[in-house]
Amino acid sequence: MTDSIRILSIEDEADIRKFLRATLGANDMTVLEAETGREGLRLATSQTPDVILLDLGLPDMDGMEIIRHLREWTTTPIIVLSARGQERDKIEALELGADDYLTKPFAAGELIARIKVALRHASRPKGDAPFVYDYDGLTIDSAARRVRLDGEDVRLTPIEYRLLTVLARNSGKVLTYASLLKQVWDRHSPDNQTYLRIHTQHLREKLKDDALNPRFIVTEPGIGYRLNP
């Protein structure tokens, strides 16, 4: 267990801490625990964990404040654990630099899957390096600028292609509407989610994807989109 993954949990609820300890421990991960924001920031600095699980409602500090502090000096993935229905909080946390969020209560398998996605992204080269995405019949070869579905070429408009590749570079991670608008349209960002919705709808049609039962593009209500897996 010398190279085991180290997770810092900043969480004040004893029941959730117990659940995290059991779940992460069963997956060969080492858990560092902080019950307050201040202690969490101290452990983040002194222990350099691989992933940080952050509860937004802490007794001594606002979770947003903690994300702001952490993002001044570290790119360690932060997964926010938030209560149900706090869409605005989730968006704010993602925009401050959190990588993902889980809504309580969440299942052990979901937590482990999100941690794996976060670790995968943390180890991946940043920027516009060429990449290949290959999942459930959909392949994207960014160097060849080619998209295929079940062996057939898919013809996409430049905007659809850009939208798909931004999602694919971040596969498994939720992207907010604002972040997608910025990344897909660059400087000419139309400040309008309708554009995004229409292009996503066209993209789904071309990928024979069903919004209600998605194979590829998952809607995160009120937040944005996430590409499987």
Report the interface residues with Ca ion, using CB under 5 A: 12, 55, 57
Q: Which is nearer to Ca ion, 12 or 141 (CB)?
A: 12
Q: Which long-range contacts (CB under 8 A, 24 or more apart) does 111-118 make?
A: 111/20, 111/23, 111/24, 112/23, 112/24, 112/27, 113/172, 114/79, 114/172, 115/5, 115/7, 115/24, 115/29, 115/51, 115/79, 117/171, 117/172, 117/173, 118/51, 118/77, 118/79, 118/173
Residue 29 CA to chain centroid, in angstroms? 20
Residue nearest to Ca ion (CB): 57
> Minimum CB separation from Ca ion for residue 46, in Å?
23
> What is the CB-side half-sphere exposure of residue 103 using CA atoms within 13 A?
12
Residue 36 CA to chain centroid, in angstroms? 24
CA–CA–CA angle 133, 137, 142 (5° rounding): 30
Q: Which is nearer to Ca ion, 78 or 207 (CB)?
A: 78
> Minimum CB separation from Ca ion for residue 96, in Å?
18
> Minimum CB separation from Ca ion for residue 176, in Å?
23
> Minimum CB separation from Ca ion for residue 109, in Å?
22
Start-to-end CA distance of the chain, whole Å, equals 27
Tokens matching residue 67: 């994300």
> Minimum CB separation from Ca ion for residue 3, in Å?
31
Residue 213 carries which DSSP code?
S
> Minimum CB separation from Ca ion for residue 106, in Å?
14
Q: Which is nearer to Ca ion, 12 or 65 (CB)?
A: 12
Q: Which is nearer to Ca ion, 55 or 99 (CB)?
A: 55
Tokens matching residue 215: 């194979």
Q: Which is nearer to Ca ion, 12 or 220 (CB)?
A: 12
Q: Which is nearer to Ca ion, 40 or 172 (CB)?
A: 40
